[in-house]
Amino acid sequence: MKLRYLIDENLSPRLKSAIQRLEPFVDVLRVGDQGAPSFGTLDPDVLVYLTATQRLLVTDNRKSMPKHLADHAVAGFQHWGIFVVGKDAQIGALANELYLYWEASEAEEWIDRTEWLRF
């Protein structure tokens, strides 16, 4: 199965558009989109959504997410991957990187993995 992304609400909405310009078939939602968690959804609830929908989270949350991930695992849940990016990530470069991950890997490879992207 191909990667399916959920972009955190704290990242620019331009990221979704940039990914879809590179490849319209990439399944990408952003928090606040129809069918995605609404703005202000708490991190533990976002993790439950990710598990239920088999989506990988792209976030810049380096503070609270590790604890929420640990709690999620202790509760017996898995997640479909987390890509953590820097707050100053450049949209174009990040979109290219996410496209390459989508092109070169399968969603199952990212189960319960967290990747710190260089951006």
**Cβ proximity of 35 and 5 under 8 Å:** no
Rounded-to-integer distance, Cα 103 and Cα 39, Å: 29
> Residue 64: is its pLDDT beyond 90?
no
Per-residue pLDDT tens for 18-39? 999 999 999 999 999 999 999 9
**Domains present along the chain, CATH in parentheses:** 4-116 (3.40.50)
* Predicted local distance difference test score (pLDDT) of residue 119: 64
Which alpha helices (DSSP H) does the chain contain, by range? Answer: 14-22, 43-53, 65-74, 91-104
User: Residues with Cβ < 8 Å from 107, sequence gap 6 or more?
Assistant: 1, 2, 3, 4, 54, 56, 80, 81
H or E segment and range at residue 28: strand 27-30
- On the question of pLDDT at 88 being above 90, the answer is no
Q: How far is CA 59 from CA 16, 43, 115, in A?
A: 13, 11, 11
- Answer yes or no: are the C-beta atoms of 90 and 16 closer than 8 Å: no
Residue-level pLDDT at 65: 87
